[in-house]
Chains A and B, each alone.
Chain A
Amino acid sequence: MASNEYVVRTKGLVKEFHMGDETLRALNGVDLDIKRGEYLSIMGPSGSGKSTLFNAIGGLDKPDAGSVFINDVDMAQLDAKELAYLRCHTIGYIFQTFNLLTAMTALENVTLPTVFAGAPTEEGIERGMEMLNKVGLGHRLHHRPGQLSGGQQQRVAIARALVNTPAIVLADEPTGNLDLKTGEEIIALLRELNKMEGVTIITATHDYKMVDVSDRVVWIRDGKIAKIEERADIKISVGGMEDASGVASHSE
């Protein structure tokens, strides 16, 4: 096991969006430490900045100020090739809209990251089939996204995110486009993979079903962390939004 406790750390993250003359501060100084192997949910209403935080942690967008450290490496210091390596090997992404490549079958979608990783074809296919079996889609290898249900597409996306054995899986509203039952199944699958594979899972969501399985919940409001709750504390303060004791409360 790696010695350092935190797989992701952010320091004073600021991100602004310019719309005409108006400037919107989507992130306003976010400090967040994410432990290795934990299941962390970033909760907040839409427009609270959680997707922006997600993008910053995943290296999908550059923050205007502050830094993101992945395994103690400052992401701003990486060049394009190193960043691509990081996205390929260290981080897996899951999206609300699944984002599968429509031209490819389930297996090809899952295999693509191994192609980018330079793995031999046979090994990639083997890994891809293994992952699809793991998410319960072993019988749908050669179906294209259009022939799969939303829940199945999200399973393919999860298999794809995990195929290069990343340390972190980032999921942006993974249940946002799914019905209640399918959403629950996807959440259960993510939790299972988190437990079995030890992969750190970070989800940005406003799905309250997510709270039950999360080790910690980060509440975001107006681009700032309103509070961070451990799971045990959430159970005590059912329905309450007040700070649980013993939990770091981040705000500026």
Chain B
Amino acid sequence: MSGETVKNAPQSQITLPFSKAWAISMRSIKIRLGRSLITASGIMLGIAFYSSVRTTGLFPSTDVGPEALAAAHRQSWLAIMALLVCFVGITNSMLMSVTERFKEIGTMKCLGALDKFIVTLFFIEAALMGFIASAAGWLVGWLIICILHLFSSGLSAFGGAFWLGSLIQMLECVFIGAGITLIAAIPPAYNAAKMPPAMALRSEI
């Protein structure tokens, strides 16, 4: 073992193939399924709230004149509030889920992982979680509002414009949800990867 020739010229670490990174990330989500689901439901609930507000806007308002204007304003405010709730909720759950794994990050660095590997692993995990949870969140919000309207005003409101609007809002929700998830997850993972491994290993939650 120690018999090999002395490497006086330092050699550099190579890259991690994407397929391996993908496998490790999937594994990590699956094994921690309970924990992953809690984090994901945080994302989902935020997006469900936002989605419900947005879906409500797709149905024609029954108000007229100044009241319609007031209703539209209320709608905008609600949407902004919903976005804030999303942002705080998702950031909170992602921060926690990355921070509690600082020790894991430190260990991987000891085993020879580059900072880039670690960020890649967390990127894949966060992107997957953000994508799936946001899509589910959109569906939940959308379904609730649709069912409510089905009971109050029947099928009349479900025209072509509604379906197109729904499709656009679905993309919007997934984009926003996955975006916030990544914004919340990557900086702490990057910081942990950058710090000396000893510090990452010392951190206790």
Contacts and interface: CB of A to CB of B under 8 A. Distances in A.
Contacts of B197: 60-61, 87
Interface of B: 1-8, 10-16, 20, 24, 27-28, 31-32, 103-104, 106-115, 117, 196-199, 201
A115 B114 CA distance: 12
Contacts of B111: 87-88, 93, 112-113, 116, 160
Contacts of B198: 55, 60-61
A102 B33 CA distance: 13
25 contacts: A1-B3, A2-B4, A55-B198, A60-B201, A73-B7, A78-B10, A82-B13, A84-B12, A84-B109, A87-B111, A95-B107, A99-B106, A99-B110, A100-B107, A101-B108, A102-B31, A104-B31, A115-B16, A116-B111, A116-B113, A117-B14, A118-B14, A118-B15, A197-B2, A199-B2
Interface string A46-69: 000000000100101110000000
How many A residues touch the partner, as a band? 35 or more
A198 B1 CA distance: 6
A115 B118 CA distance: 13
Contact of A103 (B2, B8, B32, B106): B32
Contacts, number: 126
Contacts of B115: 80
A89 interface: yes
B114 A80 contact: yes
Contacts of A72: 6, 8
A4 interface: yes
B2 A73 contact: no
Nearest to B199: A61
A113 B7 contact: no
Contact of B2 (A61, A88, A115, A200): A200
Contact of B110 (A3, A36, A87, A102): A87
A71 B8 contact: yes
Nearest to B10: A82
B181 to A, nearest CB: 19
Contacts of B113: 84, 116
B4 A60 contact: no
A160 B112 CA distance: 12
A181 interface: no
B177 to A, nearest CB: 24
Given A60-B196, A112-B111, A37 B2 contact: yes
Contacts of B104: 101-102
Contacts of A73: 7-8, 10
